Structures are given as structure tokens and as C-alpha cells.
Amino acid sequence: MKKNVGILLLFLLLGWLAGAWIAKALEPVQALSFLTASTLIKWSPQANLDIISYDITIQMNLSLLSLIGIIVSVWLYRRL
């Protein structure tokens, strides 16, 4: 069975979201702060070419639980 790249991306996104939601829910628990602390990754390409200009900002919050969610989603995808 040939695996679809689109399905892999969907699994990755869902795993990332699940990990982020769990991290958000566990934020009040001080003992798990090492799992819920997130790092902001930001990329802002921009250009002005006289006839067209663009300014795009992409931000990603990544925590240890988000990474665990991504790893679990890859594991589940490979089991298909």
C-alpha cells in the first residue's frame, strides 16, 4: 500500500495540535512545567519589488508535549 504525503501531513498537524492542547490544559500544574513550556519560532519574509510587496509572518509554538504528539502521530502513521 502506497502511503500518501497528504495523510502524513494531516497526522503531523493533528499530533501537534493534540500535544499543544494537552500542554495548554496542563499549564496550571507546576510539576509539569518542563513539558508545557513553549518556545516561539517566528519567520517573517518580506519584500518590496515596486509593483508588488508582501509581508508574511509565520509563528509556531513548540513545547515538549507538542513534540511528543508529533512523534506519536508519525508512529501511528507508520502503523497504517
Using CA atoms of 37, 63, 15, 12 in order, give the dihedral in degrees to the nearest 10: 160
Tens digit of each residue's pLDDT (9 = 90 or more) over 29-56: 999 999 999 999 999 999 999 999 999 9
> Treating both helix axes as pointing N-terminal to C-terminal, what angle do 5-26 and 64-79 enclose, rounded to 10 degrees?
140
Tens digit of each residue's pLDDT (9 = 90 or more) over 55-78: 999 999 999 999 999 999 999 999
